[in-house]
Amino acid sequence: MTDFFAKPYLIKAGRIISIALFPLLLLLLSACSVHKIDIQQGNVITQEMFEKLKIGMDKTRVELALGTPLIVDPFRRNRWDYVYIYEAGNTDEHQSAHLTVYFENNQLTKIDIQSALPKENEVKKPDSALRRSSSTQGQQGQGGHAH
Protein backbone atom coordinates (compact mmCIF):
# COMPACT_ATOMS: atom_id res chain seq x y z
CA MET A 1 0.00 0.00 0.00
CA THR A 2 2.90 2.34 0.70
CA ASP A 3 4.19 1.87 -2.86
CA PHE A 4 0.99 3.43 -4.18
CA PHE A 5 1.73 6.80 -2.52
CA ALA A 6 5.37 6.78 -3.60
CA LYS A 7 4.49 6.74 -7.30
CA PRO A 8 6.17 9.63 -9.16
CA TYR A 9 3.02 10.56 -11.11
CA LEU A 10 1.13 11.18 -7.83
CA ILE A 11 3.89 13.45 -6.53
CA LYS A 12 3.81 15.44 -9.77
CA ALA A 13 0.00 15.74 -9.60
CA GLY A 14 0.24 17.02 -6.01
CA ARG A 15 2.78 19.65 -7.05
CA ILE A 16 0.62 20.75 -9.97
CA ILE A 17 -2.42 21.10 -7.70
CA SER A 18 -0.47 23.07 -5.10
CA ILE A 19 0.99 25.35 -7.80
CA ALA A 20 -2.49 25.95 -9.20
CA LEU A 21 -4.04 26.59 -5.78
CA PHE A 22 -1.37 29.04 -4.60
CA PRO A 23 -2.40 31.92 -6.94
CA LEU A 24 -6.04 31.26 -6.11
CA LEU A 25 -5.26 31.50 -2.41
CA LEU A 26 -3.34 34.75 -2.97
CA LEU A 27 -6.27 36.17 -4.92
CA LEU A 28 -8.70 35.29 -2.14
CA LEU A 29 -6.48 36.79 0.56
CA SER A 30 -5.95 40.00 -1.40
CA ALA A 31 -9.73 40.53 -1.39
CA CYS A 32 -9.65 40.64 2.40
CA SER A 33 -9.13 44.10 3.84
CA VAL A 34 -8.93 45.37 7.37
CA HIS A 35 -12.05 47.22 8.42
CA LYS A 36 -11.65 49.56 11.34
CA ILE A 37 -14.82 50.54 13.12
CA ASP A 38 -15.75 54.09 14.05
CA ILE A 39 -15.32 54.80 17.76
CA GLN A 40 -17.70 57.06 19.63
CA GLN A 41 -17.22 57.61 23.35
CA GLY A 42 -19.06 59.78 25.82
CA ASN A 43 -21.96 62.17 25.48
CA VAL A 44 -22.54 64.30 22.42
CA ILE A 45 -22.20 67.88 23.64
CA THR A 46 -22.87 70.83 21.35
CA GLN A 47 -22.72 74.60 21.37
CA GLU A 48 -26.54 74.68 21.46
CA MET A 49 -26.58 72.51 24.60
CA PHE A 50 -24.02 74.78 26.26
CA GLU A 51 -26.13 77.85 25.46
CA LYS A 52 -29.01 76.38 27.50
CA LEU A 53 -26.89 76.45 30.66
CA LYS A 54 -27.32 79.34 33.09
CA ILE A 55 -25.37 80.00 36.27
CA GLY A 56 -27.64 79.19 39.22
CA MET A 57 -29.40 76.21 37.56
CA ASP A 58 -29.83 73.20 39.80
CA LYS A 59 -28.22 69.82 39.03
CA THR A 60 -31.49 68.36 37.70
CA ARG A 61 -31.87 71.10 35.07
CA VAL A 62 -28.21 70.79 34.05
CA GLU A 63 -28.68 67.06 33.60
CA LEU A 64 -31.80 67.68 31.51
CA ALA A 65 -29.84 70.06 29.26
CA LEU A 66 -26.65 67.98 28.89
CA GLY A 67 -27.58 64.43 29.81
CA THR A 68 -25.88 62.20 32.35
CA PRO A 69 -22.26 63.25 32.93
CA LEU A 70 -19.57 60.88 31.70
CA ILE A 71 -17.47 61.43 34.81
CA VAL A 72 -18.60 62.22 38.34
CA ASP A 73 -15.65 62.16 40.68
CA PRO A 74 -16.71 60.36 43.91
CA PHE A 75 -14.37 62.61 45.89
CA ARG A 76 -15.59 65.85 44.27
CA ARG A 77 -19.30 65.42 43.63
CA ASN A 78 -19.57 69.12 42.84
CA ARG A 79 -17.78 68.58 39.50
CA TRP A 80 -19.28 66.90 36.43
CA ASP A 81 -17.31 66.23 33.25
CA TYR A 82 -18.91 65.81 29.85
CA VAL A 83 -16.61 64.35 27.21
CA TYR A 84 -17.29 63.37 23.61
CA ILE A 85 -14.72 61.67 21.38
CA TYR A 86 -15.24 60.43 17.84
CA GLU A 87 -12.59 58.71 15.74
CA ALA A 88 -13.40 57.44 12.27
CA GLY A 89 -12.07 53.96 11.62
CA ASN A 90 -10.99 54.19 7.99
CA THR A 91 -10.14 57.91 7.79
CA ASP A 92 -8.22 60.44 9.86
CA GLU A 93 -11.48 62.11 10.91
CA HIS A 94 -11.46 63.02 14.61
CA GLN A 95 -13.62 65.17 16.86
CA SER A 96 -13.62 65.80 20.58
CA ALA A 97 -15.39 68.08 23.01
CA HIS A 98 -14.93 68.48 26.77
CA LEU A 99 -17.07 70.51 29.13
CA THR A 100 -16.84 70.65 32.95
CA VAL A 101 -19.53 72.10 35.19
CA TYR A 102 -19.14 72.93 38.88
CA PHE A 103 -21.80 73.16 41.59
CA GLU A 104 -22.09 74.63 45.07
CA ASN A 105 -25.15 73.84 47.20
CA ASN A 106 -26.73 72.03 44.22
CA GLN A 107 -26.48 75.19 42.04
CA LEU A 108 -24.37 75.62 38.89
CA THR A 109 -21.54 78.06 39.69
CA LYS A 110 -18.93 77.62 36.96
CA ILE A 111 -18.65 76.24 33.40
CA ASP A 112 -15.28 75.31 31.87
CA ILE A 113 -14.95 74.53 28.18
CA GLN A 114 -11.72 72.54 27.70
CA SER A 115 -12.15 72.14 23.93
CA ALA A 116 -14.34 73.77 21.30
CA LEU A 117 -17.91 72.52 21.19
CA PRO A 118 -19.29 71.70 17.74
CA LYS A 119 -22.63 72.99 16.52
CA GLU A 120 -25.43 70.41 16.32
CA ASN A 121 -25.05 69.97 12.55
CA GLU A 122 -21.24 69.56 12.83
CA VAL A 123 -21.27 66.61 15.25
CA LYS A 124 -19.56 63.58 13.77
CA LYS A 125 -21.15 60.23 14.54
CA PRO A 126 -20.35 56.65 13.53
CA ASP A 127 -21.56 55.58 10.07
CA SER A 128 -23.18 58.94 9.34
CA ALA A 129 -21.67 58.93 5.84
CA LEU A 130 -22.82 55.35 5.34
CA ARG A 131 -26.38 56.18 6.41
CA ARG A 132 -26.44 59.23 4.11
CA SER A 133 -25.29 57.25 1.09
CA SER A 134 -27.71 54.37 1.73
CA SER A 135 -30.66 56.73 2.22
CA THR A 136 -29.72 58.52 -1.01
CA GLN A 137 -29.60 55.19 -2.84
CA GLY A 138 -32.97 54.25 -1.40
CA GLN A 139 -34.48 57.49 -2.73
CA GLN A 140 -32.92 56.92 -6.15
CA GLY A 141 -34.22 53.36 -6.21
CA GLN A 142 -37.81 54.55 -5.68
CA GLY A 143 -37.91 55.97 -9.18
CA GLY A 144 -40.13 58.87 -8.14
CA HIS A 145 -43.04 56.66 -7.13
CA ALA A 146 -44.87 57.32 -3.90
CA HIS A 147 -44.99 54.35 -1.54
Per residue in 39-50, pLDDT (tens digit) is: 788 888 889 999
Q: Which of 79, 136, 68, 139 is nearest to 103 (CA)?
A: 79
Contact between 68 and 43 under an 8 Å Cβ cutoff? The reply is yes
Q: Is 67 helix (H, G, I), strand (E, B) or coil?
A: coil
- Residues in the chain, pLDDT under 70: 1-14, 27, 30-35, 127-147
At 96 the pLDDT is 85
Q: Is 120 helix (H, G, I), strand (E, B) or coil?
A: helix
CA angle, 93 as apex, 91 and 95 as ends, to 5°? 155
**Angstrom distance (rounded) from CA 44 to CA 97:** 8
